[in-house]
Amino acid sequence: MEYVELRERIKEQIRKKTQKEHGSAHSKSQEKKKKLPSDNYGSFFGPSQPVIAQRVIQESKSLLENQHLALRVSNSQHA
C-alpha cells in the first residue's frame, strides 16, 4: 500500500513541476485537449446520421419487385 501512496505523491510532484516549467501554455493545451468537437461527432462512431448501404436498398427493391410479380402471377392464374 505504501508503494501506491509514494507513487501518487511522486506523480503529483512531477505534475506540479511541469506546470511551473510550462506555465499557462501548458494549461491552455490541457483545455484544448478536454474540449470535445461537437460538430465532428461521427468521426469515431461513424456518421451521425443513419446511412443505408446501397446493397440493402437494392435487396429491398428486388424483394418488392418479387412480391409485385408474385401478385401478378397469382392474379393472372385466378382470372
15: amino acid identity, one letter:
R
CB 21 within 8 A of CB 15: no
| Structure-block grid coordinates of residue 40 | 465532428
pLDDT, residue 12, reads: 94
Q: Which residues contact 42 (CB under 8 A, 6 or more apart)?
A: 48, 49
At 24-71, the pLDDT tens digits run: 555 556 566 666 555 555 566 666 666 788 888 899 888 888 888 888
| Structure-block grid coordinates of residue 44 | 469515431
At 7-30, the pLDDT tens digits run: 999 999 999 999 888 775 555 565
pLDDT, residue 37, reads: 55
| Structure-block grid coordinates of residue 7 | 507513487
| Structure-block grid coordinates of residue 61 | 427493391
